[in-house]
Structure 1
Amino acid sequence: MAVTAAAAASSRFLRGGTAQANEALLGEVLVAGLRDAMLGLGGDLGDLSPKQLPAELSRALSDFHACRYGNLAIRLPRLIRAGHALSNGETDHALLSQSYVLATRMLVKLDEQQLGWMAADRARQLAEIGDDVLTVAEAARNLAVLARKAGWNDQAMSIALAAADEPRLRGAGRAGAAERGLLIQSAAYTAARSGDRKGMRQLTDEATAIALELGGTMLRDHGGGFSPVTVQLHLISAENSAGDPAAALSAARLIAPQSLPSVERRSRYYTDIATAFAQLGRRDECVRALLNAEQQAPEETHARPAVKSLISGLLVSGRTAPELRGLAARSGVLA
């Protein structure tokens, strides 16, 4: 039934060009669109000329930062399909690789690892062809994330640190330094998943030092941006993964949510706090954090499987206040 509903919602997107679906199904709609675009299937989503593709990618990135899943369900598959439709002489490999990097990030969010591997590998190959050093590194970072989610922690660590030490990246100036920081903080998260708290904190300190030296927010379109505050945001997730939710909350107290560079990062902040509260059994505070995430990014909160799983756990583990039942209903989670 969910697949049928998602297909119907996708059909409405294509006809009307607006997000009309139940937000709880937007993730399925987006995955279905990306799957078909990557397989070369599906109907015409509107012709895009080569000159239009950079602006379309910019819009897709803006939609990602604002957590507009309904718009992405239209725009991102269309961008990938249009990029592949160009003749070899016209193909902008760098732009298409960046489109695949964005697709990978969405597929990771939506727990679609099989398609995520496919997208990340395409991003890496296209970036190499286009000699786009930063996107090669970002594709490697996404591959490391996928390896970590598969439980291959040693391989994830090797991928991230090898990419960070790539000579071409070291020669890419301030942007290259920021991308190195993103790769190192990804390795820190992997260390946390491996139970290596000392390694996690050492790597986090290294990423923080790079961020402080650079100053400001760098690479907003890679990994959600890189700055001292985004490294601190990453630390919240790492402490949760290391099994220390109290430390995660301590890390969160050092962040002013409004200082984060996008809606997507602010939503991540509140869902990470909710995860910490859930681990500590502080149900009411967990629900409040989820409601804050929903206020920031309703489409993401309602669509992400990780959030749905958290809500489902709350429903079966204790009393269900009206606020929780309402959030569950909006997220398509049945009691």
Structure 2
Amino acid sequence: MKSGKHAISGNWASLLLPIEADDSIEFDKLGDEIDILIDAKVDGIYSNGTAGEFHNQTEEEFDRIQLMLTERCQKAGMPFVIGACQPDSTIMLNRLRRAASLDPAGIQVILPDWWPLTDREAIDYLNRASEIASGIPLILYNPPHAKRVLSPKELGAILAATPVVTGAKLADGDANWYAAARAHLHRVALFLPGHHLATGVKEGVAAGSFSNVACLSPRGAQRWTQLMHEDINAALEIEQRICKFMDEHIVPFRQKAGYSNAALDKLLAAIGNWGPVSTRLRFPYRWIGEGEAERLRTVAKQELGDIMI
């Protein structure tokens, strides 16, 4: 793992929103969740990824979430990254400006998402974002559902012209993808899907993960990440079982029923049952019933006992 090369690395846990029946955010529960993640001693906490429902918040809510995260993490000495993501470019730059004032370890951004940007437009946008960030490292989030999913070569060319963007969160691929990542993205901290992290470490590519495995179990994901330094073969065996669990029990909710990735991550958190987060998403998005979480909790304990801490 590239921990010696990049300041932000390892197992990062997502801040998930406790949503009430009236679609409000339960901020008391959110504070409890942050405290639990701090106590789990994860490598860091990040807000406003897809599972944090960044696309479905008011700006007042955004500010309140980031301030709560900042105050609790700074008090505990816990590294944190703020997601300033928003499909609207102007709103995102304004979120970025406010996030920078809180001095996080990094700020996550996406490319504006209503109409795909050209390479030149992406470079211009990220350089404008870099100016607003005032020296705080930026992490580009380019997920599989982005309007434009960049290949390692395309991403490398864009990031070569935007030096303040020091990391990228993206999906990995086959052996050819890893070879291309080594060739074109060697200067960038790459954050891969949590359930593929051991492979990314073995391939010499991954700096860490903003992790769906940490959604399932923050402590288990942290212990597994540490194992990658000590016994990569054992970590890879655990990865095989994690991927099998995901493929058989989690991914079908998206493939067969159309649930969002945020719904899947909240299901994982409810299966793990480690904090005050239910499966509920904010309207108009559908969520998976708590009964499914209870059913799969038994399965996860049987198949992933070394993760379900």
Is the structural similarity TM-score above 0.5? no
Higher relative contact order (CA 8 A, sep 6+): 2
TM-score band w.r.t. shorter chain: 0.3 to 0.5
Q: TM-score, normalised by structure 2?
A: 0.37
Rg larger for: 1
| Structure with the larger strand share | 2
